[in-house]
Chain A
Amino acid sequence: MRPVLAIVTAELRRFLRDRSNLFFVFIFPLVLVLVIGAQFGSGATAGKVAVAGESGAMVAALTTQLESDGLVVTSGSREDVLEQVSRGRAAVAVLVPDGAGAAFAAGRPVTLEVVPGSASNALAVQQRVRGAVDVLQLDQAQLAALTGRGVAAPAARAAVDAARDQVTGPATRVENVDALAREFQGVGQFDVGAASQLLLFTFLTSLAGSATLIQARRHGVIARTMAAPVSSAQVLLGQAGGRLVIALAQGIYIVVATSVLFGVDWGNLWLTGLVLLVFGAVSAGLAMVLGSLVDNEGAAGGLGVGLGLVLAGLGGGMVPLEVFSDTLRGVAHVTPHAWAYEAFAEIQRRDGTLVDVLPQLGVLTAMAVAALAVGAWALRRSLARAM
Chain B
Amino acid sequence: MRTDGATAEPTGRGDVLVVDHLVRRFGDLTAVDGVSFRIAAGETYGLLGPNGAGKTTIISMVAGLIAPDEGTVTVAGEQMGRTAVAPKRHIGLVPQDLAVYPELTARENLVLFGRLQGMTGPQLTARVAEVTELIGLTGRAKDPTKEYSGGMKRRLNIGIGLLHRPTLLILDEPTVGVDPQSRNQILESVERLSVEGMAVLYTTHYMEEAERLCDRIGIIDSGVLQAEGTRDELVRLTGAVDHIRLSGTGDTHAAAEALRALPSVSQVDVDRRELRLTVGDAPSAVAQVVTRATDAGMSLADVEITRPDLESVFLHLTGKALRD
Contact B88 A228 (CB under 8 A): yes
A260 on the B face (CB < 8 A): no
Contact A384 B102 (CB under 8 A): no
Residues of A within 8 Å of B82, CB to CB, are 226, 232, 380
Supposing A7-B112, A227-B91, A230-B85 touch, asked if A219 and B101 sit within 8 A by C-beta, the answer is yes
Contact A14 B86 (CB under 8 A): no
A225 on the B face (CB < 8 A): yes
Interface string of A252-283 (1 = CB under 8 A from B): 00000000000000000000000000000000
Contact B99 A221 (CB under 8 A): yes
Contact A18 B101 (CB under 8 A): no
Contact A225 B116 (CB under 8 A): yes
A28 CB to closest chain B CB (Å) equals 21
Residues of A within 8 Å of B60, CB to CB, are 223
Supposing A2-B115, A2-B120, A6-B112 touch, asked if A227 and B101 sit within 8 A by C-beta, the answer is no
Interface string of B107-133 (1 = CB under 8 A from A): 010011101111010000000000000
B165 CB to closest chain A CB (Å) equals 14
Contact B88 A383 (CB under 8 A): no
Which of A6, A18, A232 has the most C-beta atoms of chain B within 10 angstroms of its own C-beta? A6
B32 on the A face (CB < 8 A): no
Main secondary structure of the interface of B (DSSP, over half): loop
B83 on the A face (CB < 8 A): yes
Main secondary structure of the interface of A (DSSP, over half): helix
Interface string of A214-233 (1 = CB under 8 A from B): 00100111011111111110
Interface positions, chain A 2-19, Cβ under 8 Å from B, are: 2-3, 5-7, 9-10, 13-14, 17-18
Instruction: Please tell me which stretch of B61-69, B211-219, B310-318 contacts chain A, meaning at least 4 of its Cβ atoms lie within 8 angstroms of it.
Output: B61-69
Contact A228 B113 (CB under 8 A): yes
Supposing A226-B65, A383-B65 touch, asked if A220 and B86 sit within 8 A by C-beta, the answer is no
Docked complex Cα distance between A228 and B118 (Å) = 9
Contact A219 B97 (CB under 8 A): yes
Contact A13 B85 (CB under 8 A): no
Contact A227 B65 (CB under 8 A): yes
Which of B98, B102, B115, B116 has the most C-beta atoms of chain A within 10 angstroms of its own C-beta? B116
Closest A residue to B102 by beta carbon equals A219
Which of B65, B85, B101, B102 has the most C-beta atoms of chain A within 10 angstroms of its own C-beta? B101
Interface string of B143-157 (1 = CB under 8 A from A): 010000000000000
B100 on the A face (CB < 8 A): yes
- Determine which of B89, B91, B97, B103 lies in contact with A17 in the assembled complex, contact meaning CB atoms within 8 Å: B103
B174 on the A face (CB < 8 A): no
B134 CB to closest chain A CB (Å) equals 19
B40 on the A face (CB < 8 A): no
Supposing A6-B112, A228-B116 touch, asked if A223 and B65 sit within 8 A by C-beta, the answer is yes
Supposing A13-B104, A14-B103, A17-B104 touch, asked if A227 and B63 sit within 8 A by C-beta, the answer is yes
Contact A10 B88 (CB under 8 A): no
Interface string of A227-243 (1 = CB under 8 A from B): 11111100000000000
Contact B95 A229 (CB under 8 A): no
Docked complex Cα distance between A13 and B95 (Å) = 23
Residues of A within 8 Å of B97, CB to CB, are 219-220, 223
B interface residue count range (under 10 / 10 to 19 / 20 to 34 / 35 or more): 35 or more
B160 on the A face (CB < 8 A): yes
Which of A5, A13, A232 has the most C-beta atoms of chain B within 10 angstroms of its own C-beta? A13
Docked complex Cα distance between A131 and B243 (Å) = 107
Closest B residue to A238 by beta carbon equals B116
Residues of B within 8 Å of A231, CB to CB, are 83, 85
Residues of A within 8 Å of B83, CB to CB, are 231-232
Residues of B within 8 Å of A230, CB to CB, are 85, 116
Docked complex Cα distance between A229 and B116 (Å) = 7
Closest B residue to A16 by beta carbon equals B103
A235 CB to closest chain B CB (Å) equals 9
A386 CB to closest chain B CB (Å) equals 8
Interface string of A1-45 (1 = CB under 8 A from B): 011011101100110011000000000000000000000000000
B207 on the A face (CB < 8 A): no
Closest A residue to B56 by beta carbon equals A386
A222 CB to closest chain B CB (Å) equals 9
B158 on the A face (CB < 8 A): no
Residues of A within 8 Å of B89, CB to CB, are 229
Interface string of B41-60 (1 = CB under 8 A from A): 00000000000000000001
On A, residues with C-beta under 8 Å from B are: 2-3, 5-7, 9-10, 13-14, 17-18, 216, 219-221, 223-232, 380, 383-384
Sample 19 A-B pairs with CB under 8 A, ordered by A number: A7-B112, A7-B116, A10-B104, A13-B103, A219-B99, A219-B100, A219-B101, A219-B102, A221-B99, A221-B101, A223-B60, A224-B113, A225-B116, A226-B82, A227-B93, A228-B116, A230-B85, A232-B82, A380-B82
A-B contacts besides A224-B93, A227-B93, A228-B116, 17 pairs, CB < 8 Å: A3-B116, A5-B115, A7-B112, A9-B112, A13-B104, A14-B103, A14-B104, A220-B98, A220-B99, A221-B100, A226-B64, A227-B64, A227-B65, A227-B95, A229-B118, A383-B65, A383-B66
The 4 A-B pairs of least Cβ separation, nearest first, read A220-B97, A220-B99, A6-B115, A228-B116
On B, residues with C-beta under 8 Å from A are: 60, 63-67, 82-83, 85-86, 88-89, 91, 93, 95-104, 108, 111-113, 115-118, 120, 144, 160
